[in-house]
Amino acid sequence: MKYVYFFGAGKAEGNGTMKELLGGKGAGLAEMTRIGLPVPAGFTITTECCDYYLKHDGKYPASLRAEVKKNLTRLERVTKKKLGDAKDPLLVSVRSGSARSMPGMMETILNLGLNSKSVEALARNTKNDRFAWDAYRRFVQMYSSVVIGLPKEELEEKLRVMKTRRGVKDDTQVPAEGWRELVGEYKAHFKKRTSKDFPEDPEEQLWGAIGAVFRSWNAEKAVTYRRVERITGLLGTAVNVVQMVFGNIGENSGTGVCFTRDPSTGEKVFYGDFLINAQGEDVVAGIRTPMHLTEMARLMPKVYNQLEKVRVLLEKHYRDMQDMEFTVEEGKLYMLQTRAGKRTPTATFKIAVDMAKEGLITKVEAIERIKSEDIERLFYPVIDPSVPKPELTKRKLATGINAVPGAAVGKAVFSAEEAELMAAKGEKVILVRRETSPEDVGGMFVAQGIVTATGGKTSHAAVVARGWGKCCIVGCEQLDIDYATKTASANGRKIREGDWMTLDGNEGAVYEGEVKLSTPKLPDAFSILMKWADGVRRLGVRTNADTPHDAKKAREMGAEGIGLVRTEHMFFKDFEQPEKSVDRQLAIQEMIVADSPEARRKALAKLLPYQRRDFIGIFKEMDGYPVTIRLLDPPLHEFVPHEREKQQELADKIGVDVEVVARRVEQLHESNPMLGHRGCRLCITYPEILEMQVQAIIEAAVECKKSGIKVFPEIMHPLVMDRKELKILADATHRVAGEIIRKAGVKLEYSVGTMIEVPRAAILGGEIAEVAEFFSFGTNDLTQMGMGLSRDDAGRFLPDYVDEKKAGIFPNDPFQSLDVHGVGQLMLWCIERGRATRPKLKIGICGEHGGESASVKFCHQAGLDYVSASPFLVPIARLAAAQAVIEERAARKRGKKKGGKKR
């Protein structure tokens, strides 16, 4: 097996498609070498080797030593230098890099190959004593902590003491002698701690570094990052051994990170950070605040122009926005990394749409590139525009760099651990740090937002937060953060731990206290891309909405009708006049307590006008689109009071004895209410409920129709389990509706159908379709009953069924993502039989799954007519429905190709 891939001098054994094997960095270096970019030479040890190493207790495959040796010799030939040489030494960096980007989570060792002889040679050749000894001390420091595991703090402390002794503040002021002295101290410290001399042999150094990088795959921070990012199924990290280039030789050198487009807005502008006279990690670590690329263009116009050319070339080559790392060594540009750049949701849409318009990608590719999370994150909050400007000015603490947009409110915390502790208690927190490091990733994840005093837009905090779409402000230098007292001060004011604060990631502003947030306006690129998706999809997308307000929102989101109005919500609340909600509640309670059909009818008559008014509101909003209205579904006990006090109140209001109420409540008690007297079973027992609801629906529809609104009511019976049961209900529905329509003298189309929620109904779909004009899968209940899992309680143990590290029985929570393997089969069975009976049977889904990407794709494959999702999930369903078509076409194409070959 081949474990090592070489790149250099314009040739590479690997290429850009080999991410799984070479990691993103290794594949990128190989590809950049192939297309002729200035990349330092090196070789990549594969992720398969990491997998072997981790599975064999830190042993390497037998062939590896010879392979590394061969590639090292080749590297020495290409660079015309020798590792550890006393005359012209080759120095290398040893870097991690897995198939998925894990910024800063794994280890890197720089300047490897330095020892007491080669450091002198480096000093001579660069004519820069200070630079050579600084490089050496960095190497000894990194090697001691990363490879050997000596505590970082002890080494940092020695550096601090040396600076104090020499009376200097910044590292840049330390003379060569200071660094030489520090190397001596580090080596002595190394000897004391390990009882061994610091390794002089460069090959020994190299093997130590390779093992450390492999082991860093399982470091706690890396494991946490993979958990929160849900990165699974990777073999491990690759190791990249690359010739060192130095950005810290002097003022004509530097290092930077740049993006081919703005990762915050998506704008087509060259965007990035650059630090003069600095080494690689200084930019990412965010310790010094870097300059913008425009500044670099002024200082180093030639290199900048070259970089600009690389930008254009790489974006064309990869057909995506790239995030690149580069170093300038004495005026010469080197590219160290390129990868698809992390970006905000707004930028995701803008870049996809712009690239399609520029002809760089197709519209279909643009649609494929959007993930459902990108849509969800578009709705992240901003500072409410109604908050008066003077109030904001008054509250403003400091301004930093707007690294990730959005806004966040929470209580200030000053450590990642505290953030996790407080979040576990349900508190909203803002993580306030001087800078973040990969160890902080758990706390960063649970925080509402992050603010750091140092760093640029490509610092660790910014990169990680951007990947999550989490509001983040960096380089907020006015903020004086004191970890000891857990305070942050600016402008003469102080925030203590637990104090409320607000971040505005759009402006980079930090405010004292809790500022009101609201949902932002959607970017233009969003509507453009959604229109493209609509042009591709076949599946209809409706919404679940119970109020005119939600119906309006859903129409704005692109819903083409309502797939579920849960009428019981109208019994609880008057959305137009909330103060009148109590009238409805009383009426329904009176109906439930009633002891005769007459008394029940009287109570129901009070509800009729409310329901009718609500339906009119909904029909108006859905002018021209179908509206599926479900009759009463929950068990009646949900509507009545259970505490004595409240029962007394009700008894007084409706004029009965409290005992009557108490007895009725007791009668309604069920051991398994979810399997009890609910759904259409209520109307089988109390047909008066059906009569009132159908009357309200049809009268509302007639009134709308008369005023020119196009209405298509679909009356839906829930929880049906039998053909005869539905027949009774459908007959009653037609009788009531027919009479009203006849009397009104209008022509009104309406239909009567059923939900498919009970497995028996799914199995008997063929019979039930004799009566039902449409089916709507209620997959919340169908999952509950199909799997025998209580939708209200299964959360207590279901995570164990989903957790890969525990039982790992299901890939996802079946209440979130449809159990295609089981419940999905019930649906397919039902669809086939239903359509065999009634070929034009309209079929939809209105369970929560209608707004989940994978479930929507299944519904497309199953041949449903539409999915129905809550208003904010409608765009996710539209996108998934389009992606389903694209995937289907691709599968067909693949199938054809295969078929072609066989013949």
Among Mg ion, ligand PEP, none, the one that 847 touches (CB under a kind-dependent 5 to 8 A) is ligand PEP
Among Mg ion, ligand PEP, none, the one that 560 touches (CB under a kind-dependent 5 to 8 A) is none
Among ligand PEP, Mg ion, none, the one that 507 touches (CB under a kind-dependent 5 to 8 A) is none
Q: Which of 325, 614, 781, 848 binds Mg ion (CB under 5 A)?
A: 781
The least CB distance from residue 395 to ligand PEP, in Å, is: 42
Instruction: Tell me whether residue 107 or residue 714 sits nearer to ligand PEP (CB atom).
Output: 714
DSSP 191: H
Contacts 24+ apart (CB under 8 A), 588-592: 588/639, 589/639, 589/640, 589/641, 589/650, 589/654, 590/654, 591/689, 592/636, 592/639, 592/640, 592/664, 592/668
Check: CB of residue 112 under 8 Å from CB of residue 203: no
Q: Is 848 in the site for Mg ion (CB under 5 A)?
A: no
Q: Under DSSP, is residue 4 helix (H, G, I), strand (E, B) or coil? A: strand
Instruction: Tell me whether residue 550 or residue 757 sits nearer to ligand PEP (CB atom).
Output: 757
| Strand order across the beta sheet in which 291-292 lies | 291-292, 271-276, 254-259, 322-329, 332-340
Among Mg ion, ligand PEP, none, the one that 31 touches (CB under a kind-dependent 5 to 8 A) is none
Catalytic residue flag (residue 704): no
Of 162-170, 504-512, 685-693, 772-780, the segment contacting Mg ion by CB under 5 A is 772-780
The least CB distance from residue 578 to Mg ion, in Å, is: 26
Q: Which distant-in-sequence residues (6+ apart) come within 8 Å of 365 by Cβ?
A: 319, 356
CA distance 81 to 410: 55
The least CB distance from residue 842 to Mg ion, in Å, is: 19
Instruction: Tell me whether residue 224 or residue 754 sits nearer to Mg ion (CB atom).
Output: 754
User: From the centroid of its chain, how far is CA 330?
Assistant: 41
Which parts of this chain interact with ligand PEP (CB under 6 A)?
564, 566, 633, 757, 778-781, 846-847
DSSP 521: P
The least CB distance from residue 757 to ligand PEP, in Å, is: 5
Q: Any bridge partners for residue 272, and if so which?
A: 258
DSSP 406: S
Check: CB of residue 510 under 8 Å from CB of residue 473: yes
Among ligand PEP, Mg ion, none, the one that 846 touches (CB under a kind-dependent 5 to 8 A) is ligand PEP
CA distance 668 to 824: 34
The least CB distance from residue 633 to Mg ion, in Å, is: 6
CA distance 74 to 94: 17
Instruction: Tell me whether residue 296 or residue 873 sits nearer to ligand PEP (CB atom).
Output: 873
Q: Which positions from 724 through 763 interact with Mg ion, judged by CB under 5 A? A: 757
Catalytic residue flag (residue 846): yes
Closest CA to 405 of 376, 383, 428, 430: 383
Q: Under DSSP, is residue 691 helix (H, G, I), strand (E, B) or coil? A: helix
Task: Please write down the HEC assignment for all residues of 702-713.
Answer: HHHHHCCCCCEE
The least CB distance from residue 720 to ligand PEP, in Å, is: 12
Check: CB of residue 630 under 8 Å from CB of residue 716: yes
Instruction: Tell me whether residue 418 or residue 633 sits nearer to ligand PEP (CB atom).
Output: 633
The least CB distance from residue 142 to ligand PEP, in Å, is: 56
Among ligand PEP, Mg ion, none, the one that 315 touches (CB under a kind-dependent 5 to 8 A) is none
Neighbours of 581 (CB within 10 A): 15
Size of the site for Mg ion (CB under 5 A): 3
Instruction: Tell me whether residue 304 or residue 615 sits nearer to ligand PEP (CB atom).
Output: 615
Q: Residues 49, 258, 460, 683: which is the catalytic one?
A: 460
Q: Residues 846, 849, 859, 860: which is the catalytic one?
A: 846
Instruction: Tell me whether residue 126 or residue 780 sits nearer to ligand PEP (CB atom).
Output: 780
Q: Is 778 in the site for Mg ion (CB under 5 A)?
A: yes
Instruction: Tell me whether residue 374 or residue 757 sits nearer to ligand PEP (CB atom).
Output: 757
The least CB distance from residue 607 to ligand PEP, in Å, is: 19
Of 542-550, 634-642, 771-779, 807-815, the segment contacting Mg ion by CB under 5 A is 771-779
Among Mg ion, ligand PEP, none, the one that 523 touches (CB under a kind-dependent 5 to 8 A) is none
CA distance 429 to 448: 6
| Strand order across the beta sheet in which 108-112 lies | 11-12, 4-8, 42-45, 238-243, 92-97, 108-112
Which positions are annotated as active-site residues? 460, 846
User: Which residues make up the interface to Mg ion (CB under 5 A)?
Assistant: 757, 778, 781
